[in-house]
Amino acid sequence: MNGRVTHRMLSQTSLDYLQLGLGRLAKVQEQLSTGRVLNRPSDDPTSVTAAMRVRASMAEQEQYSRNAQDGVGWLGQVDTTLSNATDAVRRARDLALQGANTAAVGQTAREALAIEVEDIRAGLVATANSTYLGRPVFGGITAGSRAYDDTGTYIGVPGDVTRRVADGVTVQVDVDGRDVFGDGAASVFAELDDLATALRAGDGVTIRSSINDLAARLDTVVSARTAAGTRYARIETADATSVSMRQSLAATLSTLENTDLAQAAVDLQLQEVAYQAALAATSRVLQPSLIDFLR
């Protein structure tokens, strides 16, 4: 059975298709105006979901990069501090070597050497209390501003300061001061106190013992600096990887969200031609008058 096509049905269908064509034209114009193909979730739910995941990954990589840069700051301060400590311990050992020949070095000279050793000790206390952003780099997880008091006693709180620089990857960015400077009677500060006392007293045995102690301490400081340098390199590598990942994710996000201007310009011309053709066809279809229709 054939259905009857009325003039109203023909008009309504023509207008519906015109509206559909106008909507496609408006969509392409919006993409060109905003520079984005995803302006609302309904544009492409699958691509919108993928874009949200990419943005979440980018935010994660940005946080990793910030963590790595903070870690670089910590370890940079550690390296500078340990370099100063190395020079100070080496100088103290040189002074001990000078004072070891008690027969050739007079009391006045030994007093001068002892005073310099005490100055080195005071400088090492300040070095051991070096901070980064207000936190001591050798004080563990202490909330205070110092790792050692003036007597050379460790007052920090043991614990590693770490930074997460990748998924499941954390790197220690501080150094336990006790592993470098020691603590209490077994600290470099006590060793320097003993050396200063021995220099004043002309105690050759203690001075020679101090030479050995300071040589061992020098090895300890150098080893700590080497370990910190290795972690520094790891963090720099992680930061570079994070930057590369962000760039890759940004390219993916651009592919998902941004308009291909050349393709959109072609689409706009096609939609304009299609809409103009639809208008022309509709005008011809709806051209007959009521009298023409009754004939």
What are the residue boundaries of the structural domains of the chain, listed by start? 7-35+259-294, 61-253
Check whether 204 has a pLDDT greater than 80.
yes
pLDDT at residue 2, as a whole number: 62
- Please report, for residues 90, 111, 195, 256, the alpha-carbon distance to residue 206 in angstroms, rounded to integers and kept in the order given: 18, 16, 7, 74
pLDDT at residue 40, as a whole number: 76
Q: Quick one: which of 217, 260, 197 has its CA closest to 35? A: 260
**Locus of tokens 């100070």:** 88
Please tell me the CATH superfamily of domain 61-253, with its number.
f41 fragment of flagellin, N-terminal domain (1.20.1330.10)
Question: Who has greater pLDDT, 24 or 223?
Answer: 223
pLDDT per position as a tens digit, 150-168: 889 999 999 999 999 999 9
Measured CA to CA, the distance from residue 37 to residue 252 in angstroms comes to 14
Number of residues assigned to the chain: 295
Question: Who has greater pLDDT, 278 or 99?
Answer: 99
pLDDT at residue 70, as a whole number: 96
SS3 label, residue 201: helix
Check whether 290 has a pLDDT greater than 60.
no
**Phi (first) and psi of residue 88, to 5 degrees:** -65, -45
103-112, 114-123, 230-239: least confident range: 103-112
Q: How large is the average pLDDT for residues 225-243? A: 94
Model pTM above 0.85 = no
Check whether 276 has a pLDDT greater than 90.
no
**Locus of tokens 């051209």:** 287
Q: How large is the average pLDDT for residues 111-137? A: 95
Asked whether the beta carbons of 274 and 27 are under 8 A apart, the reply is: no
Element (H, E) at 169: strand 169-172
Contact residues for 129 (Cβ-Cβ < 8 A; gap 6+): 136, 138, 139, 145, 146, 147, 148
pLDDT at residue 172, as a whole number: 96
Q: How large is the average pLDDT for residues 106-124? A: 93
Measured CA to CA, the distance from residue 82 to residue 177 in angstroms comes to 11
Q: How large is the average pLDDT for residues 64-76? A: 96
Q: How large is the average pLDDT for residues 218-241? A: 95
pLDDT at residue 258, as a whole number: 72
Share the mean pLDDT of the chain. Answer: 87
Beta bridge partners of 131: 136
